[in-house]
Structure 1
Amino acid sequence: MWEPLHLCGADPTDGFARVPLTEENFVLQKPYDVPLQDRYKNGLRRFWVYNNDKPFKPDSPTRPRTEVLITGYDYTSGVWQFEGYAFVPKGTSGATIVQILGGAQSATTLQLRIYNGDIRYYSSKLVATDLYDKWFRVNIIPDVGNGKVSFY
């Protein structure tokens, strides 16, 4: 079972090599009735999601989303890293900031969600507080061989 590790004094990007990505590596989901350029800006890869958005396809029961799935790499072994920044406006609650699919016990290994300005591991364990209306860094390192995910 994956166990989250919290906080580290060193820069979590130390020791990792950049992996080249092209547009072919990105599978994008956004509200089916909104043009891609209205929600996704290449370069900084900014995403917008609104509470009244439709799902990513007409027959989907999922909640609104604008997200990217990175493909073309084998995430079933080794040690990988994701780093990004998030901004959550005040009043948003229940939004998933990042998730890793392929859990041993469920569909996901990890979800970091915002509830009332605080980020939590799923809906329980508190990770960080007072994040409304400010940019914050998210760094996740899944170590498949050791069955651990570190997040910073």
Structure 2
Amino acid sequence: MLYQSIFHQTFLSFLLCITTLSLVASDPTDGFTRLPLSSSNFQVQKPHDVPQDQRYTFSNGVHTFIVFNTDKPHTSTSNTKPRTEIRITGYDYTSGVWQFEGYFYVPSGTTGVCIQQVFGGVTAATTSQSRVYSGSLTHYLSPTLETNIYNKWYRFNVIHDVGANNVKIFINGVQKFNGNGRGADDHYFKFGVYAQDGASYRMESRWRDIKIFRR
């Protein structure tokens, strides 16, 4: 009976361990292949009449983006709102499953701004926009992905499955959004600051450890 009791306890412990492991969320990059990325893939877009170093810097591995709501667009012929962004080049895509990863930091006071985009779509210019409004990170205007984000670093992952017309967003490895895309088009990733309605006078985001994956 003693051996039987020990066996049962050991078996139950084993089952508990397996159950616990099954509840642990997998990393969003599992099953993906990381692609080579260098500074040559980073195209800076900033107000066309301002020197780049007044709106964008890269120091100690951190990209810092600043834009003001009174700034001009990134080209003299554009009618878009002001932005300071990096457009990732060399990895435009029209099919497949692609993933962007980076760590972002938004200082307090920044609001009404898009900090990351999946560009391209049939029904709109973008398939995904992650925006900051009053300290919350949102997918477009809603839903809210994370609250109280100011002055903290967050891991950010967005997965775009073109064929399934699906977008997933993860914050610190936890899925926060799973929804429809906006149709297959010529897509690419962008990150930085891009003013939206209700933009604060000064907008800033910082990014580090940028990676691109494909499955």
Q: Same fold (TM over 0.5)?
A: yes
Q: Distance in 1 between matches of 2:86 and 2:107?
A: 20
Provide the residue aligned with 1:85 in structure 2: 103
Greater Cα shift, 88-97 or 31-40: 31-40
- Cα deviation per residue 1:17-69 (whole Å; 9 max; x = unaligned)? 22113444332201223322341327543323333433212343222211111
How many pairs does the alignment contain?
145
Q: Distance in 2 between matches of 1:50 and 1:37?
A: 14
> Which of 20, 27, 35 is matched with 2:51 structurally?
35
* Higher strand content, 1 or 2: 2
TM-score between both structures, scaled by the size of structure 1? 0.82
User: Percent same amino acid at aligned positions?
Assistant: 52
Structure 1 unaligned regions, length at least 5: 1-7
Structure 2 unaligned regions, length at least 5: 1-23, 171-215
Q: Partner letter of residue 136 of structure 1?
A: Y
Q: How much has 1:74 moved relative to structure 2? A: 4.2
Q: How does 1:24-103 map to 2 (within 5 A)?
A: 24-38=40-54, 39-41=56-58, 43-103=61-121
Q: Distance in 2 between matches of 1:52 and 1:101?
A: 24
SS of corresponding position for 1:62: coil
Runs of 4+ in 1 over 4 A off after TM superposition: none
Q: How much has 1:92 moved relative to structure 2? A: 1.7
* Higher helix content, 1 or 2: 2
